[in-house]
Chain A
Amino acid sequence: MAALELTDVRKVYGTGDNETVALDHADLTVGDTEIVTLLGPSGSGKTTLLSIAGGLLSPTSGSVRVGGEYIAGYSKRRLTAFRREQVGFVFQQVNLVPFLTARENLLIVAELAHDTKEATAHADRLIEELGLAHRRNALPGTMSGGERQRVAVGRALMNSPKLVLVDEPTSALDSTLGAQVMELIVSEVRGRGTAAVIVTHDRRITSYADRTVEITDGRLAADAVTA
């Protein structure tokens, strides 16, 4: 089963003369263990696509299927539960909760779902895997940029998602750290047999993916295999 299927998806902002088409009849399928980079310049619609795939935005029209669930018609409440249970996000600016330790930043996902029974062991395993065992009780303010990114990746994997959505993971990092972060993301996603969509404007990142799809003015171009 595909991790993500977008069929004829449109997203239009505004009405009449002020209408802006952010995503125009987009079709995209991501296999259940596939890593896809979505490459495009600013304003190309890649963020809109990522938001629709993650249930942060609802499309104007078209079908969105994530892990077998059709989410296009979901209410806000159902979308909240969907995000909590089915997808993992790695944000551009990391966005950890500043007053929680590394371990607690992972556990927050389980706490929001009121599911902390097995979460503690899961969080500890992730912390170990991410090489953060010695920093488990550190606050984000005392961590390096790379450590924070690793915590963010761990948080995205806490709910064992079917699809991980990564937003410009290297935009704020130098090339060495950017490469390390990408290797980490790819290794963790592949290690779990999960799918990922990585949004970027940095062509160097495409080498980490199975496939790259370019987006310009809201339109997806033909697929290109880069792996």
Chain B
Amino acid sequence: MRLALREMLRRPGRFAVAVGMLTLLAVLLLLLGGLLDGLATGSTGAVRAQEGQLLTFSATSRDSFVRSQIGAETRAEVDAVPGVRSTSGLGVTLVGARIEGREEFENAAVWGYEGGVRGVPAPPPAGQAWVDRRLEAAGARVGGTLRLGPTGVPVRIRGFVDDTSYLLQAGVWVTPSEWRRVTATVRPDRILPPGSYQVLSVDVASGADPARVATAIDRATRVDGADTTSTLTKQAAIDAIPGVTSQRSTFTSIINTTLLVAAVVVALFFALLTLERTALYGVLKAIGASSTQIVRGLFAQAVVVAAVALVIAEVLTLGLGAVIPREVPLLLEPSRAVTSAVSVIVAALVGSAISVRRIIRIDPATAIGGGA
């Protein structure tokens, strides 16, 4: 292995092509991963922030917030289900929001809530809102006014909260009555009466199994044998958000394809290198190197090539992240960097493994007789 690493130190140029290509692929992987994370985070923050482990939708809503409606009577039935500690009403309306002093509209998701949202304090007084930090980046300031919807319902910004976006729109958290007021200006057909909400966030009692409680809720709310509610775990509700699953599967497919390309690049590179080194390996075997020692060296080189490419790619990606427009939902997280690094190193090892058979088959006798 020392021999292989010494070769890399003495002849770095020989590995430059592989490092260069892997660097580009690693940048692509990190950007794709960052976009996937950015999209997922921006689409799901408000739902992930729910402290309730379950979310109850109306059965006919197909698990969509905007189509769902839970009345006070149903809520009372849910509250009475064993294993339910408490419920919180939720409603959301997507609107354009104009920051005071600015002409252009920003996208906002106005949430009416009763509490139980991680990172968001209790509902503010009427006419005020907790606002997602996305809008701070757009120029909003604490104490400033945000005008919601086509008629510009004014709310004063009480403070900023983190990671509460929904469908890439900044969360604006207001009282249920404020939310109804805003909804009336956008979707008068979707106004819900007081006591009714789109969805219930259900806090499950400690020790109770959320899956069993979900089933019990939907059973308790049946009318004439037909379901009137659809209760999902928080993860299932996240997956039901429009676009989330398809985004994830699309990006995952592209990421996996990129990893496959990385493995092929490494495989071709080391296959060529092995072909070129056949004589050298023959001599090394003749003087006592085992195939295992040579293969270990090959793997060490593959890992170093991948590691160097990853370091360069990480720096390049962070640089790109700094200059990329804020509208692009790019989120560069350490966990993604680690996952990508492990994936690229595994791809490099798999790719280099293609040459193992050839190395094993190199006959040390080729070193004799001028064959080497």
Contacts and interface: CB of A to CB of B under 8 A. Distances in A.
A85 interface: yes
A155 B288 contact: no
B288 A95 contact: no
B10 interface: yes
B3 interface: yes
B6 A104 contact: yes
Nearest to A158: B287
Contacts, number: 84
Interface string B259-300: 000000000000000000001100111111110010000000
A186 interface: no
B353 to A, nearest CB: 20
Interface residues of B, number: 24
Given A91-B372, A97-B280, A84 B365 contact: no
Contact of B283 (A47, A91, A99, A168): A91
Contacts of B3: 97, 100, 108, 111
Contacts of B194: none
B304 interface: no
A77 B7 contact: no
Given A95-B279, A100-B6, A84 B287 contact: yes
A113 interface: yes
Contact of B2 (A83, A111, A113): A111
Given A97-B3, A99-B11, A83 B365 contact: no
A56 interface: yes
B304 to A, nearest CB: 15
Contact of B369 (A47, A85, A97): A47
B122 interface: no
A89 interface: yes
A83 B287 contact: yes
B6 A99 contact: yes
B290 A77 contact: yes
Interface string B1-43: 0110011001100000000000000000000000000000000
Contacts of B367: 56, 89, 91, 95
A93 B368 contact: no
B372 A93 contact: yes
B319 interface: no
Nearest to A83: B288
A75 to B, nearest CB: 12
Interface residues on A, range: 20 to 34
Contacts of B284: 97, 108, 112
A108 B286 CA distance: 12
Given A51-B368, A81-B288, A92-B369, A112 B293 contact: yes
B370 A89 contact: no
Given A56-B367, A108-B3, A89 B372 contact: no
A112 B370 contact: no
B284 to A, nearest CB: 8
B371 to A, nearest CB: 9
A57 interface: yes
B364 interface: yes
Nearest to B365: A56
A190 B325 CA distance: 77
Contacts of B280: 95, 97-98
A180 B95 CA distance: 92
A59 interface: no
Contacts of A95: 279-280, 283, 367, 372
Contact of B370 (A81, A92, A99, A108): A92
A167 interface: yes
Nearest to B14: A99
Contacts of A171: 370
A55 B189 CA distance: 90
Max chain A Cβ within 10 angstroms of own Cβ: one of B2, B286, B372 = B286
A54 interface: yes
Q: Which 4 A-B pairs have CB atoms at the shortest separation, nearest pair first?
A: A84-B288, A47-B369, A56-B365, A99-B10
6 contacts: A51-B369, A57-B365, A92-B369, A93-B372, A100-B10, A112-B288
Interface of A: 47, 50-51, 54, 56-57, 77, 80-81, 83-85, 89, 91-93, 95, 97-100, 104, 108-109, 111-113, 139, 155, 159, 167-168, 171
